[in-house]
């Protein structure tokens, strides 16, 4: 073992103590989505980012960029969470839940969440990601709804997920409002339901509802080209802002701004979608 490096006390010290933010999420190897997007967002918003990995997704360029999905073994997920929770016991109060991928992972994560109190549990209910066939993992969807949704204090469904969770069909803003209200009723959480490019019109519309305030958040749509990482970044930004003490509505507004700017600054690649970039988005 090497001994810790000695600290030069004459050097300027950064005295700010960052808020802790944990993401329990999958790796998306190309860096656009998943844990990579979460960590970049946490860093950009000034929180201390921590990751427990649930799975590894590698797009397949030889097969239309479809997802190759490998779950992390349940015991290894439990081990990561044990290390993290012991390391920051009493201080870690904010967690984001991203892609889980299997019922056994959801079970493992739910057990770890039950081991402590949380101020903020932000659930990005990733049911499918770009390129995947809808509905191939019904058992995972049901486990997420039964075991994680009730623990959430804030949930960020996209158009498809909002339809799945609410049981409603969403064709316009009024439908999106109804879905946000329905998801609040079943979860008790603040809801930021994303219309994204799925609703027609020139604006990208999201609906916030927390049981009291209903607010439509709107920003001009930026092109028609698909961008990955928007959902992950939105939920991660909400997580960081909540950890820093923002109200849910303030967190939603800041997150929407970050995603809009991040899409403007997107990174092009050889994949059929660009990747949102968080760098400098709010500075
Ligand atoms: O964008 C949803 C998402 C979340 N997490 C991981 C992903 C994706 C989509 O590709 O790969 C790990």
- The three-state DSSP-derived secondary structure of the chain is CCCCCCCCCCCCCCCCCCCEEEEEEEEECCCCCHHHHHHHHHHHCCCEEEEEEEEEEEEECCCCCEEEEEECCHHHHHHHHHHHHHHCCCCCCEEEECCCCCHHHHHHHHHHHHCCCCCEEEECCCCCCCCCCCCCCHHHHHHHHHHHHHHCCEECCCHHHHHHHHCCCCCCHHHHHHHHHHHHHHHCCEEEEEEECCCCCCEEEEEEECCCCEEEEEEECCCCCCEECHHHHHHHHHHHHHHCCCCHHHHHHHHHHHHHHHHHCCECCCCCCEECCCCCCCC
Mutate-to-test residue for ligand 1 from 38, 65, 98, highest number of ligand atoms within 8 A of CB = 98
Mutate-to-test residue for ligand 1 from 56, 57, 100, 269, highest number of ligand atoms within 8 A of CB = 57
Say what the pLDDT of residue 196 is. Answer: 82
Determine the distance separating the centroid of ligand 1 and the alpha carbon of 10, expressed in angstroms: 44
Report yes or no on 12 lying in a domain. Answer: no
Residue nearest to atom 9 of ligand 1 (CA): 129
The total domain count for the chain is 1
Report yes or no on 7 lying in a domain. Answer: no
Burial class (CB in 10 A: 0-12, 13-18, 19+), 56: middle
Residue 22: both structure tokens together: 């944990």
Report yes or no on 212 lying in a domain. Answer: yes
The reply to whether ligand 1 has any atom less than 6 angstroms from the CB of 57 is yes
Confidence of residue 139 (pLDDT cuts 50, 70, 90): confident
Determine the distance separating the centroid of ligand 1 and the alpha carbon of 99, expressed in angstroms: 6
Render pLDDT for 57-78 as a digit per residue (tens, 0 to 9).
Answer: 999 999 999 999 999 999 999 9
The reply to whether ligand 1 has any atom less than 6 angstroms from the CB of 28 is yes
The reply to whether ligand 1 has any atom less than 6 angstroms from the CB of 26 is yes
Residue 243 has pLDDT above 90, yes or no: yes
What CA–CA distance (Å, rounded) separates 240 from 159?
23
What CATH number is attached to the domain comprising 217?
Answer: 3.40.1190.20
Q: What is the mean predicted confidence (pLDDT) over 227-234?
A: 96
Most confident range (mean pLDDT) of 6-20, 117-131, 210-224 is: 210-224
The reply to whether ligand 1 has any atom less than 6 angstroms from the CB of 128 is no
The reply to whether ligand 1 has any atom less than 6 angstroms from the CB of 98 is yes
Say what the pLDDT of residue 1 is. Answer: 47
Report yes or no on 240 lying in a domain. Answer: yes
Which one has a higher pLDDT value, 137 or 189? 189
Strand partners for 67: 59
Say what the pLDDT of residue 131 is. Answer: 47
**Domain extent at residue 148:** 18-264
Whether this prediction's pTM lies above 0.75 is answered by yes
The reply to whether ligand 1 has any atom less than 6 angstroms from the CB of 33 is yes
Mutate-to-test residue for ligand 1 from 30, 31, 33, highest number of ligand atoms within 8 A of CB = 33
Residue nearest to atom 4 of ligand 1 (CA): 34
Report yes or no on 26 lying in a domain. Answer: yes
Residue 3 has pLDDT above 60, yes or no: no
Average per-residue pLDDT for the chain: 92
Report yes or no on 269 lying in a domain. Answer: no
Residue 156: both structure tokens together: 């960020």
Confidence of residue 22 (pLDDT cuts 50, 70, 90): very high
Report yes or no on 277 lying in a domain. Answer: no
Report yes or no on 280 lying in a domain. Answer: no
């Amino acid at each position: 073992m090497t001994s810790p490096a000695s600290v030069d006390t004459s050097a300027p010290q950064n005295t700010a103590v960052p808020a802790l933010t944990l993401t329990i999420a999958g790796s998306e190897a190309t860096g656009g989505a998943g844990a990579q997007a979460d960590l970049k967002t946490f860093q950009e918003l000034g929180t201390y980012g921590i990751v427990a990995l649930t799975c590894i997704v590698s797009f397949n360029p030889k097969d239309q960029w479809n997802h190759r999905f490998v779950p992390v073994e349940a015991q290894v997920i439990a081990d990561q969470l044990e290390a993290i929770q012991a390391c920051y016991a009493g201080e870690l109060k904010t967690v984001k839940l991203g892609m889980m991928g299997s019922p056994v992972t959801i079970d493992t994560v739910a057990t770890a969440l039950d081991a402590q109190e949380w101020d903020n549990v932000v659930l990005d209910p990733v049911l499918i990601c770009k390129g995947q066939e809808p509905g191939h993992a019904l058992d995972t969807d049901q486990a997420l709804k039964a075991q994680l949704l009730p623990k959430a204090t804030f949930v960020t469904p996209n158009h498809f997920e909002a339809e799945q969770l609410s049981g409603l069909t969403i064709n316009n803003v009024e439908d999106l409002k109804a879905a946000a209200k329905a998801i609040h009723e079943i979860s008790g959480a603040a809801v930021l339901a994303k219309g994204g490019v799925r609703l027609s019109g020139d604006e990208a519309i999201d609906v916030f509802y927390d049981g009291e305030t209903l607010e439509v958040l709107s920003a001009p749509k930026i092109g028609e080209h698909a961008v990955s990482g928007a959902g992950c970044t939105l939920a991660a930004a909400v997580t960081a802002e909540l950890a820093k003490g923002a109200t849910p509505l303030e967190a939603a507004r800041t997150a929407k701004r970050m995603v809009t700017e991040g899409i403007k600054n997107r990174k092009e690649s050889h994949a059929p979608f660009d990747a949102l970039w968080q760098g400098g988005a709010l500075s």
